[in-house]
Amino acid sequence: MLTGFLGSGKTTLLKRLLTDPALAGCAVLINEFGEVGLDHYLLERIDETMVLLQSGCLCCTVRGELSEAIRDLHSKRERGVVPPFDRIVIESTGLADPFPVLSTLKADPVLRHHFKASGVVTTVDVVNADAQLVGYRESVRQVAIADVVVLTKTDISDPAQTELVKEMVRSINPDAPILQSVDGDLAIGILMDPTTLTRSDALQSPGGFYCDEGWVGPTALGHADRIRSFVLVFDGAVDWTTFGVWLTMLLNRHGDRILRVKGILNIEGEEFPVAIHAVQHLVHPPVHMRSWSDREQRSRIVFIVDGIDCSAIEQSFKTFHNIADATPSQEWEPSLV
């Protein structure tokens, strides 16, 4: 999914994606062809809603419900009406909360059988980001849910402004890698690479994440009192079934306010860690990793939450798992689940 606030450069990045060989054999769902300007890339027009590009990408406009558009696209692929494709990129509107789009796959049994959510790429306009992140909740949630953040307009921005925006993005989502769209060597393929989107062992920091400490947004950030991140670290192996029940209960009750959960777990009976990743109510399949990134083999879970006290989640986890050494230690509030 490609998202980002109004004017943040989604369309410009999408045009770049559509000409890159890394996306050959990809279907793209967009609002309108005219907004992207694809005429000079066209190979043929299949119908009034679909065009095939020279790069091999298939572009479709979304008319009506997203689920209907994906169903129609899948049906035409199965019937041979359109060329085969192995992934779909969805461009969302600038004022959209990304989660309802992601939840479409989970809510529809047919789509859930044929497709699975991969990741979210969010564009951030460094010229206007400070005002947008302060004034618009949608902008904050788009950054919070991102697997990869792409900074745009850095070529016309003061370097100090770019660094400020990086700090703001990192305060909301400390784990996502931050790229710059104007970089000549920006590898488009990395935006679609599953190892980037699932944060595999090839892209971990020594501690297992891009952040090993919790973050709270700067005081200038209008949502700093609500949207924050923290890291839960604990020793000892975890029972996978118990953890699954706990996470399911937590997200079932508070998923709207738990924007992201990403972690590596030391699971009983597993030699190497298991990576987990959830976006609000949507839980991605676990990833069995090839090695530990440190000798301690400690479990770490990063949470990005909206209006939930981290101590309540900590206490809930410790109570449910009968663990006494999770960190950070705080004065605890009643359990959330």
The CA distance from 198 to 44, in Å, is 35
Token pair of 327 as six digits: 């960190």
CA distance 280 to 185: 33
Residue 128 has what pLDDT?
Answer: 87
- HEC sequence for 235-276: CCCECHHHHHHHHHHHHHHHCCCEEEEEEEECECCCCCCEEE
3-state SS class at 332: coil
What is the predicted pLDDT for the residue at 224?
44
Structural element, H or E, at residue 15 = helix 10-18
Output the pLDDT for position 34.
Answer: 66
pTM beyond 0.85: no
Kindly report the backbone phi and psi dihedral angles of residue 11, in degrees, each rounded to the nearest multiple of 5, phi listed first: -65, -40
Taking 70 as the pLDDT cut, the residues of the chain under it are: 33-35, 37, 39, 64, 183-190, 192-226, 294, 323-337
For residues 239-277, one letter each, b for 16 or more C-beta atoms within 10 angstroms of the residue's C-beta and e for the rest, the string is: eeeebeebbeebbeebbeebbbbbbbbbbeeeeebbbbb
Instruction: Specify the domain boundaries for CATH 3.30.1220.10 within the chain.
Output: 223-321
Q: Which CATH architecture describes the domain 223-321?
A: 2-Layer Sandwich (3.30)
- The confidence score (pLDDT) of residue 207 equals 36
What's the residue count for the chain?
A: 337
pLDDT at 98: 77
Question: In CATH, what number does 2-216 get?
Answer: 3.40.50.300
